[in-house]
Amino acid sequence: MEESLPIESPSMSRRQLLNFLTGAAVAATAGAALYPVGKFFIPPKEVGEDGSIIAKDINGNIIPASQILAEPPGTRALVAGLAGEPTYLTIREDGTLHPWGIADNCTHLGCTFPWNPNDDQFQCPCHGSRYDPEGRVVRGPAPLPLQLAHVNVEGNYIRISPWTETDPRTGKKPWWI
């Protein structure tokens, strides 16, 4: 007796086609959903054409923005900024980063200095200069405000770029360019 071969029914083919289409739709949706996630974790270009860099820690490792933003409001986080210069980032009350970074480099003779949260000032231990939270001189001998840099969050990274426009604290051309 001749064995009959299974013949795929038309309804089976339609089901397979439907499964395929459903799978393709799921894959497309998942891909679209994952794109921003992937973008979030892929480090951007480390050095931009404008001379900007991605903030790193003291060991040269890129610091995720989420790590800095997990700090409480009012925190001054020190990162390696432009040309590796230590730069203070400020966490604002709304949990975002202040768009100005402040160079940890006293304009008197170049000492580094801590943030004093009790006095709300940067206080240089070398000769006593003091600066307000935005880097204006409160007490000398420092002659000039602290150098600024632009700070932007890109995905999960922090980009620091040179500040070449008018210094908003003085209304003048920045002294550092």
Q: CB of residue 105 vs ligand FES: minimum separation in angstroms?
A: 9
Q: CB of residue 86 vs ligand FES: minimum separation in angstroms?
A: 14
Q: CB of residue 171 vs ligand FES: minimum separation in angstroms?
A: 24
Could you give the CA distance from residue 22 to residue 16 in angstroms, rounded to a whole number?
10
Could you give the CA distance from residue 159 to residue 173 in angstroms, rounded to a whole number?
22
Measured from the CB atom, the residue of 14 and 127 that comes closer to ligand FES is: 127
Number of residues forming the site for ligand FES (CB under 6 A)? 11
* Interface with ligand FES in residues 125-154 (CB under 6 A): 126-129, 141-142
Tokens at 133, concatenated: 């939270």
Q: What is the strand order of the sheet 148-154 is part of?
A: 53-54, 157-162, 148-154, 100-103, 86-90, 76-80
Could you give the CA distance from residue 9 to residue 14 in angstroms, rounded to a whole number?
9
Measured from the CB atom, the residue of 111 and 144 that comes closer to ligand FES is: 111
* Interface with ligand FES in residues 51-110 (CB under 6 A): 106, 108-109
Task: Give the CB-side neighbour count of residue 23, counting CA atoms within 13 A.
Answer: 6
List residues binding ligand FES (CB under 6 A): 106, 108-109, 111, 124, 126-129, 141-142
